[in-house]
């Protein structure tokens, strides 16, 4: 019977605990890598702006990323699920880039008024 409020079974085996600890450690690594990727995406946004690119979205680059991810997938995660995760990741980093750009534009406008 599950422990009240935790969703855990009282008879959790050592093997299950070990596997869950590995998943927890992997989750921490994934978060670190996602944040590293987001930081690089922000740097890309600065570089695009410096190069005079007005648009944030680059559909061709997004297709390339999804193609590379598809080619790297050896399973067991289904291709459709992996691509859905990556589409969301790309959208999140694009939104981060847009917020950064808006902030830089506001800061620039304030500087011109001073």
Alpha carbons within 13 angstroms on the beta-carbon side of residue 39 total 6
Q: Give the pLDDT score at 108.
A: 81
Domain that holds residue 18: 14-113
6, part of any domain: no
44, part of any domain: yes
Q: Which band of pLDDT confidence, cut at 50, 70 and 90, is reported for residue 6?
A: low
pLDDT surpassing 60 at residue 31: yes
Residue 4 zone, left/alpha/beta (φ > 0; ψ -120 to 50; rest): beta
H-assigned helices in the chain? 14-50, 59-72, 79-113
Domain count, the chain: 1
DSSP letter for 6, please: T
Q: Which band of pLDDT confidence, cut at 50, 70 and 90, is reported for residue 111?
A: confident
Condensed to tens digits (0 to 9), the pLDDT of residues 41-64 reads 999 999 999 999 889 999 999 999
The CATH number given to whatever domain includes residue 85 is: 1.20.59.10
Model's pTM, two decimal places? 0.80
């Amino acid at each position: 019977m599950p422990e009240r409020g935790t969703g855990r079974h009282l008879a959790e085996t050592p093997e299950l605990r070990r596997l869950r600890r590995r998943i927890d450690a992997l989750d921490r690594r994934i978060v670190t890598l996602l944040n590293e990727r987001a930081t690089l995406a922000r740097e890309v946004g600065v570089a695009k702006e410096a190069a005079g690119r007005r648009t944030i979205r680059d559909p061709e680059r997004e297709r390339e990323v999804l193609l590379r991810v598809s080619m790297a997938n050896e399973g067991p995660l289904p291709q459709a699920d992996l691509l859905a995760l990556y589409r969301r990741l790309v959208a999140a980093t694009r939104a981060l880039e847009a917020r950064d750009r808006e902030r830089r534009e506001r800061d620039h406008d304030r500087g011109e008024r001073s």
